[in-house]
Structure 1
Amino acid sequence: MRNDKFTIVYCTPALYSAGGTERVVSLKANYFADVLGYDVTIIVTEGKNGNSFFPLSDRVKVINLGLNFEEIWNVPFVKKILLYLKKQKAYRKMLRRELLRIRPDITITTLRREINFITDINDGSKKIGEQHLSRSNYRGVDNRYSNFFELSFFRWWKDRVVSSLMRLDKLVVLTDDAVSEWPELTNIRMIPDPLAIRVRNSSSLTSKRVITVGRYSYEKGYDLLLRIWSIVEKKCSDWQLDVFAMGDPTPYVKLMDELSIDKKRCHLNSSIVDVETEYLKSSILVQPSRTEGFGLVIVEAMACGLPVISFDCENGPRSIISDGENGFLIPPFDVETYAESLLRLISDENLRQKMGENGKQMSMRYDIDTVGKQWQQLFEELMQNDGV
């Protein structure tokens, strides 16, 4: 009979960027190692130095295979496929070697390139998939920029994923809506993302500042946010909007110019590690996403006492926000209604305080100890079913 100090391996592309997956993987790896006493290794394929953008425990080991799949993003389509297949073959060989060396009890994949072959690696570990995107956005391709052949390839590639997910010992998704997205699967467990910050204080909600945190990408909807803000700023001359995001803000700077947005009151910042400080200096979180796998930023902001406004996009926000209680859910993608709701919160401090308090109470269910215990229970169930 083995003890319950399991050996865990995480497979994820990278740790060096400020993305949501990187944040959550780092947080859970730290919890598994420092609190549960597990032996934890993270295997990545990207990033030259292997450093983590977010704090990582000294007890967590990182193995960087240095395959650099990211270099194929901007090459012609045919060359991209050939390079991908070459790197994928190398990845399969290298990951198999590491798993056979480590012999983990549990291997967790964030469902990137290794999902195509990880269940074929006979290292003795239970295989868990961790899904951070909605089904429609998983292995998605942007229809605006792809020709017929690219679309056909990606649709074929996307259709293969169901058979791969069926072979996992468990697929973990973040919301009840996400469970219903996969009617073909019977191996699903819902465990939400944990709150990534230990909140010590609450915002006073008196600062005339609106905040959003994320990524400069089409999915995050900052083009919609700027259109919303172009309406709002004309009706409240003393409030400002601060965006903290990873990626290239250049297209959004251009849109600000087109919309004649006041750059003294609308700031497009880079991503930051200490998001708690920025939440506490703000009074409202705006989340303009077109799609969300979960909405960790919403939970973080609520934990700091902020009311939240979000489009009622698929999956995440509706599992966290109770419309009219701890924030507003806006019909997708109604810019005018969103602007009206934001103006309402801006003009009513009592409403901000009420929604902020409700959100803070709700956020407690996402505490790392609560979520971590759900993962611990899953690990123990899988290992018990293995006859240990």
Structure 2
Amino acid sequence: MRIAYCVPRLTTSGGIERVLANKSKFLLDHGYEVYFILSEKTDEPPFFDFDKRITFYNLGCEFTARGLKKKMVHGKYKEIYLKRLAAALDEIKPDITISIFDKYSRYLYKVNDGSKKIIERHFGKYKRPRYISKFETNSLGRILTYLYRKADYDIVKHYDKFVVLTEEDKNLWGNLPNIVAIPNSISFIPEIKSTTKDQRIIAVGRASKQKQLDVLIRVWAKIAKKYTDWKLVTYGNGNLESLRKLAEELKIGDQVENNPPTHNIQEEMVNSSIYALSSKYEGFGLVLIEAMACGLPLVSFACKCGPRDIISDGEDGFLIKENDLDDFADKLSLLIADSELRRKMGIAASQNVLRFTEGIVMSKWMSLFDELVN
């Protein structure tokens, strides 16, 4: 069976790219042919190691729309993209073509090449406007939220399947006939787990408004001086200098370490004792299950969507009400002070994460492919 993924690029170190690298290798190992159709022109190699058996197509589109003519230019680029995409699909002749819901590949359904079409969303329904989700509690509110996302609803109805990452998000989209929830998988189960004795709290993500690493530093500042032997260590791209300056301003510069992305995140997690996630929103939270696989207890904001599907509150980690910095600090403090609790929660995390193993999750994808093609 031939599977073609439509993506903008693969050069960044984000969770989407990591998931696609792992997913495509699994499919190749199980007899599938895998193709990637890249829309954006770039000479940079992928950040992650994509299997050499993959065939890549680069459509060479240069999307530079800016200013008042953005809508007009967007329409022109969409036409160029779809024309080049149709030519690539005509050559590949895939059985299934998958859009990752980016700006242009969401229009994949307009290409009538005969392949079954899947659109998968790597973020929750309320990616940025989280306040909109509060209206979901009554019928009028649900109408308003539908209207807010009407453009997305109009897109997904054209696809054979619409795949989201969590049951929480699936429920937010409502009773769509083609929607299915398939989580991300953990691609590694390390033999050596964290001892939870290293005096390090770890966080992974961009220095961005979404990941809120600045908020995490402020949380850490509330208790850092109580635990002077402990450090908060982060890995990710973005404006790391701004994070360092904030730590200095809060007088905890010697207890915060901000690093660029690393290919050895598994080792860094194993050498830590607590994982902290301070995101404003997530699509799933791949780093959470990676940390669990390494035997780390978790402390995370209960943001939409992901942490609620992953963390068993009080068993393998703690779910914190959004924006409650004091409770976040209290739970970090509890884990730091109680080594036995850290150990027990870390063991529970390493066991509970097994429901996200690659074999279990990818069997759901392969069953979906079979359902569509056969």
With normalisation by structure 2, the TM-score equals 0.91
Once the two structures are superposed, residues 178-213 of structure 1 have per-residue CA deviations (whole angstroms, 9 ceiling, x without a partner) of 111111521011110011334221011110001001
Aligned-pair distance for 1:141? 11
Q: Is 1:45 aligned to residue 39 of structure 2?
A: yes
Once the two structures are superposed, residues 139-198 of structure 1 have per-residue CA deviations (whole angstroms, 9 ceiling, x without a partner) of x6999xxxxxxxxxxx99953121110111001111111111111521011110011334
Aligned-pair distance for 1:85? 3.1
Once the two structures are superposed, residues 51-100 of structure 1 have per-residue CA deviations (whole angstroms, 9 ceiling, x without a partner) of 2211111111122222243x44xx4x314444433322211111111111
Distance, in Å, in 2 between the alignment partners of 1:111 and 1:157 is: 17
Amino acid in structure 2 at the alignment position of 1:95: L
Distance, in Å, in 1 between the alignment partners of 2:216 and 2:115 is: 44
Give the corresponding residue for 1:214.
205
Among 295, 302, 318, which residue is 1:328 paired with?
318
Q: Is 1:381 aligned to residue 367 of structure 2?
A: no
Does the CA contact (< 8 Å) of 2:182 and 2:364 recur in 1? yes
Question: Is the alpha carbon distance of 1:242 and 1:378 closer, same or farther for their aligned partners in structure 2, counting shifts above 3 Å?
Answer: same
Give the corresponding residue for 2:195.
204
Once the two structures are superposed, residues 323-348 of structure 1 have per-residue CA deviations (whole angstroms, 9 ceiling, x without a partner) of 11000111111001100110110111
Does the CA contact (< 8 Å) of 1:115 and 1:164 recur in 2? no
Distance, in Å, in 1 between the alignment partners of 2:147 and 2:173 is: 18
Does the CA contact (< 8 Å) of 2:204 and 2:287 recur in 1? yes
Amino acid in structure 2 at the alignment position of 1:212: A
Write out aligned runs for 1:329-368 (5 A).
329-368=319-358
Aligned-pair distance for 1:215? 1.5
Give the corresponding residue for 2:122.
132
Aligned-pair distance for 1:313? 0.9
Question: Is the alpha carbon distance of 1:184 and 1:251 closer, same or farther for their aligned partners in structure 2, counting shifts above 3 Å?
Answer: farther
Question: Is the alpha carbon distance of 1:195 and 1:345 closer, same or farther for their aligned partners in structure 2, counting shifts above 3 Å?
Answer: same
Among 222, 226, 239, which residue is 1:231 paired with?
222
Write out aligned runs for 1:230-249 (5 A).
230-249=221-240
Query: What SS does the corresponding residue of 1:315 show, helix, strand or coil?
Result: coil
Distance, in Å, in 2 between the alignment partners of 1:47 and 1:350 is: 52
Distance, in Å, in 1 between the alignment partners of 2:51 and 2:75 is: 34
Unpaired runs of at least 5, structure 1? 1-5, 144-154
Question: Is the alpha carbon distance of 1:20 and 1:223 closer, same or farther for their aligned partners in structure 2, counting shifts above 3 Å?
Answer: same
Q: Percent identity?
A: 37
Range with greater deviation from structure 2 (302-311 or 55-64): 55-64
Q: Is 1:252 aligned to residue 243 of structure 2?
A: yes
Query: What SS does the corresponding residue of 1:229 show, helix, strand or coil?
Result: helix
Amino acid in structure 2 at the alignment position of 1:112: D
Does the CA contact (< 8 Å) of 2:237 and 2:260 recur in 1? yes
Query: What SS does the corresponding residue of 1:230 show, helix, strand or coil?
Result: helix
Q: Is 1:28 aligned to residue 23 of structure 2?
A: yes
RMSD (Å) for aligned C-alpha atoms: 2.1
Query: What SS does the corresponding residue of 1:359 show, helix, strand or coil?
Result: helix
Distance, in Å, in 2 between the alignment partners of 1:142 and 1:226 is: 24
Amino acid in structure 2 at the alignment position of 1:24: V
Distance, in Å, in 1 between the alignment partners of 2:216 and 2:108 is: 39
Does the CA contact (< 8 Å) of 1:88 and 1:113 recur in 2? no
Give the corresponding residue for 1:89.
79
Among 148, 161, 177, which residue is 1:170 paired with?
161
Question: Is the alpha carbon distance of 1:281 and 1:59 closer, same or farther for their aligned partners in structure 2, counting shifts above 3 Å?
Answer: same
Distance, in Å, in 1 between the alignment partners of 2:122 and 2:199 is: 33
Among 53, 58, 82, which residue is 1:59 paired with?
53
Aligned-pair distance for 1:115? 4.5
Query: What SS does the corresponding residue of 2:76 show, helix, strand or coil?
Result: helix
Amino acid in structure 2 at the alignment position of 1:170: K
Amino acid in structure 2 at the alignment position of 1:19: G
Amino acid in structure 2 at the alignment position of 1:248: N
Aligned-pair distance for 1:366? 0.9
Unpaired runs of at least 5, structure 2? 133-145
Range with greater deviation from structure 2 (11-20 or 176-185): 176-185
Give the corresponding residue for 2:180.
189
Amino acid in structure 2 at the alignment position of 1:191: I
Does the CA contact (< 8 Å) of 1:212 and 1:244 recur in 2? yes
Give the corresponding residue for 1:372.
362
How many residues are paired up? 361
With normalisation by structure 1, the TM-score equals 0.88
Distance, in Å, in 2 between the alignment partners of 1:125 and 1:216 is: 39
Question: Is the alpha carbon distance of 1:188 and 1:125 closer, same or farther for their aligned partners in structure 2, counting shifts above 3 Å?
Answer: same
Once the two structures are superposed, residues 287-321 of structure 1 have per-residue CA deviations (whole angstroms, 9 ceiling, x without a partner) of 00111111110000000000000011112001110
Amino acid in structure 1 at the alignment position of 2:185: P
